[in-house]
Chain A
Amino acid sequence: MESKTNGENNLRKKKRKPVWVFPWGYPEAFLIMAAVLLVGFAMEWVTPGDGLSAPAWPWNGVIGAALILGALILQLALPKNPVVRWLSQVPASMGAIAAVTLSVLLMGLFLQGQPSGISWIDRLGLTRMATSWPFLLSISWFLFVLAMTTVRRSIPLRGRNIGFLLNHLGLWIVIAGGILGSGDLQRVTMTLSDGQTVWYGTDRDGRTVELPLALELQRFHMEEYPPKMGMLDHDTGSLIIRGEQDLVEVERGRTGYMSGWNYEILRFFSESARIDDRFEPIHDIGAAPAAQIRAVHAERGDTVVGWITCGSFNMRHQFLELEEGRAMAMTVPQSKRYMSLARLYTQSGDNRMIDIEVNHPYSAGGWKLYQFSYDDRFGKWSPISIIEAVRDPWLPVVYTGFIMMLLGAVYLFWLGKDIGTELTQKTDGEDWNPGATDGQVALDSPPGSTETSGPAGTSGSTETSGQAAGTRQETEVS
């Protein structure tokens, strides 16, 4: 089956409607998008500051409720108003999507979080877009349009709109919950050292925050991967790595070939100390891995035997010099896992031993405790452990949105084929002239699609052409 689409030709033939004359379409959507961004940058320019932040409870809740109520009231009171109608359709959505896309694109191009030193870039907020006016206005406009669209499609609630609602309402809940919830989000770091009880944290602005819990570090524990060894080029100061055999894990008895030399690892201690010109195993603060190597030149046959170590904070590293410009060297072991063993005290009088490991936070008293960092100068011998405590009361809201979007994604996946087929059937409609009203044809959407076109089937729109309505009837899936 082959067909030529007439729509593009129709669009070109059509006489253009002047801008701002109803019904609105794409030109109005993109002019508003430009206005939103321009006003945002202008406000950023005239109100220099460190960035915006969401208000805390209850004001963030008020804003969220106002957005939902505003959309509900507009849709119930003025369903036929051309602006309300336009706000619930794809052209307005596309304008809002474009505004968010542009501000996120700027965020993706400029290094965020530190001033660039170029005054106009910093003054426009380009280096902290997530807290800038243009981003705030874009995302607010986006949320408003998305709310209008979602509310319109939800009245009355119909089973066949389930996919649409999961995707649109889910996304709205995630974004609104995330942005408004950031007003109540608290993140503080607690620096623990052996035997001290800490009941406060420090936020990112350096303020001290008292917590409803206390931690007393018993022990910081780190496991490491075995160190690796390779051939060092003295001219470049880096390891020569051409293939897999050039950087190998150190283990006793390993033999191999590297840059002209055959080697054998005679001895290996994961924790050791230097005694005269040799190494002995020792378990003590500052111990470092060491290996004794015998290297034989593959052609000349000269033999070198000696020790290598990557060293630690109180032990110097040591290479094994083989020939002019070449030495064997050991790399610092990478951490495999690290955790804090601590005693937790809560206000309710609880007192128990817990361990906090990366990827395994511990929940207590409305806070989540994360293994955040340690003193990397000391590595596994770090005398301190840094814990991050996070409180996010809006998390259940955001996760509700995530679950809806996950279900919506499954729905999209499941119905993908039918949606595609239906769209193409519409494309075949010779009588249907999509350009005639400049994107205002309120074609009802296929079920489950994420489109936001007007609710022809729900509000008695008269804009739907007979052909399109017929197509809808044929392909409707309940």
Chain B
Amino acid sequence: MTWSAFPAVFAVSAGLWGAAVAGVYLARLKPRAEIMGHLFFWAGMAVLTIFILGLWGSLDRPPMRTLGETRLWYGFFMPLIGYLTWRRWKLSWVLAYSILMAVVFLGINVLNPDVHDRALMPALQSVWFVPHVIVYIFAYALLAVSAIVAVKALYEGRRGQFRVKTITLADNMVYIGFAFLTLGLIFGAIWGKEAWGHYWNWDPKEVWALLTWIVYLAYIHIRAHCPDLVRPAMWTLAAAFVVLMVCWFGVNYLPSAQGSIHTY
């Protein structure tokens, strides 16, 4: 299966996920509609999974090299995280939001298609390639949700009341997302030692990955030390996602990134 099948896959998955969200919201009126949410959600995931596996097979390498391919994984993990959050915390808006984000990112791939390219440069042919990219994209997807949770918390605060449930959700997502950022950073360092001779080369992508890590580190310390300073903490969390996005794709446009080994 190649990218030529993607517009159809996208339409089917997005449609199924849309139906799932409709089912979840309908369940507020008719509890029995919840089963629709589960069924349509997993059907949408199945279609996308089959496409990713097919693409992996046809490329003969992990589809994780180009920006379009990382968007594909982002579109895979976002709905999954939204679904788990909905199951765990009963927050249907998180599911709706993460599906919307996934549809936007996958939609970029439809409008801006990748060229079928099997080539994988030798430095990327490593056992660390798949774990490094997967844990990073998973962390990015989780922290994206935490950013929108932060915005929601700020909105609630503006209306007079911070909701404990919202803030707890933000904390949990950051803890788990930060753990995955740490894994990604260290996997990348170990891979760097094997491929480029040193675990840290101050490559622009590394610099921004470090910055991203530090900003979430700051959030964790603010929350741990001053749990009452909710507003500054939530602002930090929302701003942290901006740093993360610079790291993910913004760094390609910075003057400091000329000659980076991470540009794609």
**Chain A interface (Cβ within 8 Å of chain B)?**
1-8, 10-11, 89-91, 93-94, 97-98, 100-101, 104-105, 107-112, 130, 178, 185, 187, 225, 241, 243-249, 334-338, 357-361, 368, 370, 372, 388, 390, 392, 395, 398-399, 402, 405-406, 408-410, 412-413, 415-417, 419-421, 423-424, 426-428, 434-435, 439, 443, 445-446, 449-453
CB distance A335 to B121 under 8 Å?
yes
- B38 contacts the other chain (CB 8 A): no
Summed over the interface, the residue pairs from A and B with CB atoms below 8 Å come to a total of 222
Find out whether the CB atom of B254 lies under 8 angstroms from the CB atom of A109: yes
Q: Find chain B residues with CB under 8 A from A111 CB.
A: 255-256, 258
Q: Is B101 an interface residue (CB 8 A)?
A: no
**Distance in angstroms between the alpha carbons of A145 and B210 in the assembled complex:** 19
Cross-chain contact A390 with B198 (CB below 8 angstroms): yes
Q: Of all chain A residues, which has the CB nearest B191?
A: A359
Q: How far is the CA of A421 from the CA of B113 in the complex (A)?
A: 43
Known: A111-B258, A187-B197, A453-B225. 20 other contacts (CB 8 A): A4-B161, A7-B227, A7-B228, A7-B230, A101-B214, A111-B255, A241-B115, A243-B4, A244-B2, A244-B4, A244-B114, A244-B116, A359-B126, A395-B193, A412-B175, A416-B175, A423-B223, A428-B164, A439-B226, A453-B224
- How many angstroms between the C-alpha atoms of A439 and B221 in the bound complex? 12
Residues of chain B with a CB closer than 8 A to A178's CB? 199-200
Cα distance, A110 to B254, chains bound together (Å): 9
Known: A450-B221, A451-B225. A358 touches B163 (CB 8 A): no
> Which chain A residue has the least Cβ–Cβ distance from B247?
A108
Instruction: Report the 8 A-B pairs with minimum CB-CB distance, sorted nearest first.
Output: A7-B228, A451-B224, A416-B175, A420-B171, A90-B225, A413-B179, A358-B122, A409-B182
Query: Is B264 on the interface with A (CB-CB < 8 A)?
Result: no
A335 to B118, CA, bound (A): 11
Report whether A336 and B202 are in contact in the complex, using a CB–CB cutoff of 8 Å: no
Q: Establish whether residues A97 and B224, one from each chain, have CB atoms under 8 Å apart when the complex forms.
A: no
Chain A positions within 8 Å of B182 at CB level: 405-406, 408-409, 412
* Nearest CB in chain A: distance from B144 CB, A: 17
Provided the pairs A90-B225, A101-B215, A453-B225 are in contact, do residues A406 and B162 lie with their beta carbons within 8 angstroms? Answer: no
Docked complex Cα distance between A277 and B217 (Å): 66
Q: Could you list some 14 contacts between A and B, CB below 8 A?
A: A4-B160, A5-B228, A10-B228, A94-B218, A107-B207, A109-B254, A110-B255, A185-B198, A359-B122, A359-B123, A388-B197, A416-B171, A416-B175, A450-B220
Q: B202 near A359 (CB under 8 angstroms)?
A: no
A108 pairs with B254, CB closer than 8 A: yes
* Chain B residues with a Cβ closer than 8 Å to the other chain, count: 73
Bound CA–CA A247/B121 (angstroms): 18
B118 to nearest A CB, angstroms?
A: 6
Kindly name the residue among B183, B214, B224, B251 whose own CB sees the greatest number of chain A CB atoms within 10 A. Answer: B224
Near A by CB (< 8 A), chain B positions 147-178 give 160-165, 167-169, 171-172, 175-176, 178
Given contacts A413-B176, A419-B171, contact A104 B224 (CB under 8 A): no
Instruction: Give A92 to B171 CA distance when docked, in angstroms.
Output: 22
CB of A331 to closest CB in B, whole Å: 10
Q: Which of A357, A390, A409 has the most CB of B within 10 A?
A: A409
How far does the alpha carbon of A453 sit from the alpha carbon of B222 in the complex, in Å? 10
Q: From B118, B172, B256, B258, give the contact of A109 (CB < 8 A).
A: B256
Measured in the bound complex, the distance between the Cα atoms of B117 and A245 in whole Å is 11
Query: Is B100 interfacial (CB-CB < 8 Å)?
Result: no
Is B186's beta carbon under 8 Å from chain A? yes
